[in-house]
Structure 1
């Protein structure tokens, strides 16, 4: 049976519009900013007589989420409303003083997918910092964590590995909503902005997005379905290697492969481990962009068989361990000259996982992850808003 969940935006429009009356309003959003009837928050604000919308702010992938990962885009004018759209994934990822001078209050309405690497939560954090430094208020319209709010998994980031795919020490799978994270960031990392969170009604921590009545709007080009999002806290780490994570196919982040892999042997090795809640199937694929464009790649698709038992970080660590044992000379960790650390380490939040793979110490790494996860669960407890 579907659970009826009322979004923060719907509750805001019914009961809290007075918070914006007489103020110049900036809206940080993308195509996921919409009510339960799929009317965009931009349109809702623009057409409301008591809301003076003076600026739009767009995160990575743009206002319409058409830009590819890492693709910068420029400021523009919103065609329907004539309101300026400021890029927060262009020359700067942080709102500038001239941007902030156009508004008195910021509203945030974006769907997150529940993983540390996903950049929208850091765009939110940067906007909160800008609000704190300019004396502006920010209102977060809360939305579900689509992969649930109970499970927490992964390591906490080391300070030296801070980046836009890991700004704060939270686990790979954090199990919090954007509203909860906003309060957590505000207090734990001393942002201290004027923050209001408009909570949802009807959402509970054990609720996956597919268990709600809400329509799904992809937050970015490669967020295809619930299985992809459940896998993502693990499979996103593949981005930091010379393996394909399935970008350029219809199953991004469900696939791991490369031209040098024997898919059947790889499948058999993964399934022999007996990983709970997941099964590997050998595949052949040919990416249309990103790594290995137009090349035949063999590998596996990870099929989730039990959401409750499946552990994305645990699974991916074992998958990488198997690949390294099978192809120690072929597996590479990508280096970029403009980055202080390998991309894999930035995603992993430290160099511990890479070193554990190279030194056959993954059990030690996973044990440390468990300690970090339990520590985070205690730290986040005062900031949880839903039972």
Structure 2
């Protein structure tokens, strides 16, 4: 039976239970029985005195990239300090009364999902303010199979809050493992304790857990959106809809001008059977093309093990760009951490001047991205941090 780090710590009765705890968490962090982690800990006598929330806020309903304010938790009555607004890390005034920082936030397995980078800022804060950091680990929902890691690796000249340090887009690690890896490689020297999951092996995907899916943010509403996200997130840097504001968030690509039937047919021709593409329509209720009928292509995954989301996402963008030279455009993507929205594709891919890749002739493009998405070196790089 799978147990998360939160389930393990509730059974362990650790010696820091009565110390003053500041918890970094959100509503998606729940026990295997579906109880919010922060409530389960308080109900079991853990002395949590303050909460910190990452992007999307404590209730995980905040819009992508929008600054979140401090507030009060309606569930526990505790004060909530936002780590995605005017600050990205806890400050001296928040931690001076604390003994322990406790982190429990679910991840989706992609480099540009910001919860990992909130963790790294918390790690640096733990070192700076000499506080112990306990990470309640959770499985990687798109599996921990290291052979499925996909680049490109981030060139740190493109460092941002959607990718600070060198790593591939799909990382196949848990946040606990990444905390240990970066603590060592970036010489953060935080005093970290990772409470491991129990009953998880690296081959398992979220549906294999036999637990209800819990959305981790407004746009990640299904396991399929998690698995496609490492590739379809690249659409943020284009004038194509990634399905936000529809039931197809991060599982479909749309625009009023898209030749959906043709794109779907071409994708099906190059799929090896691991996925299929279907022409549909959708009308976004917010985000790009708000209120406009879009022709769209929905991707359906048939083989999780052989499916390569980053490679597939890059091919989708290249095909659509080639078929629609008059309509397709690269676009800015303003957020709280990148107000100008410039160079978003470089920040997502990790490659400097990445738009030029998509100008290559198709055969040369396939050769280039096959090389770029190759991430076999990652398994060796992270070996010392592997917990499972």
Please give the TM-score of this superposition, normalised by the length of structure 2: 0.94
1:111 Cα deviation from its structure 2 partner? 0.9
> What are the Cα deviations for residues 284-327 of structure 1, in whole angstroms up to 9, with x where unaligned?
11111000001111120011111111110111111111112101
Residue 347 of structure 1 corresponds to 348
1:134 Cα deviation from its structure 2 partner? 0.6
Residue 379 of structure 2 corresponds to 377
1:194-273 equivalence runs, <5 A: 194-273=191-270
Residue 173 of structure 1 corresponds to 170
1:100 Cα deviation from its structure 2 partner? 1.9
SS in 2 for 1:18: coil
Q: Distance in 2 between matches of 1:352 and 1:310?
A: 27
Residue 288 of structure 1 corresponds to 285
1:214 Cα deviation from its structure 2 partner? 2.8
Q: 5+ residue gaps in structure 1?
A: none
- Structure 1 residue 26 corresponds to structure 2 residue 22: yes
After the TM superposition, which of the residue ranges 134-143 and 73-82 deviates more from structure 2? 73-82
Residue 67 of structure 2 corresponds to 72
Q: Distance in 2 between matches of 1:211 and 1:80?
A: 30
Change (3 A) 1:297 1:139: same
Q: Distance in 2 between matches of 1:20 and 1:184?
A: 26
- Structure 1 residue 131 corresponds to structure 2 residue 126: yes
Contact 2:332–2:341 (8 Å) recurs in 1:
no
Contact 2:280–2:296 (8 Å) recurs in 1:
yes
Change (3 A) 1:118 1:320: same
SS in 2 for 1:107: strand
1:352 Cα deviation from its structure 2 partner? 5.0
| CA-based RMSD | 1.6
Contact 2:149–2:172 (8 Å) recurs in 1:
yes
Residue 365 of structure 1 corresponds to 368
Q: Distance in 2 between matches of 1:309 and 1:77?
A: 45
Residue 314 of structure 1 corresponds to 311
1:16 Cα deviation from its structure 2 partner? 4.1
1:174 Cα deviation from its structure 2 partner? 0.4
Residue 54 of structure 1 corresponds to 49
Give the number of equivalent residue pairs: 380
1:40 Cα deviation from its structure 2 partner? 1.6
1:252 Cα deviation from its structure 2 partner? 0.4
Residue 40 of structure 2 corresponds to 44
Q: Distance in 2 between matches of 1:122 and 1:110?
A: 11
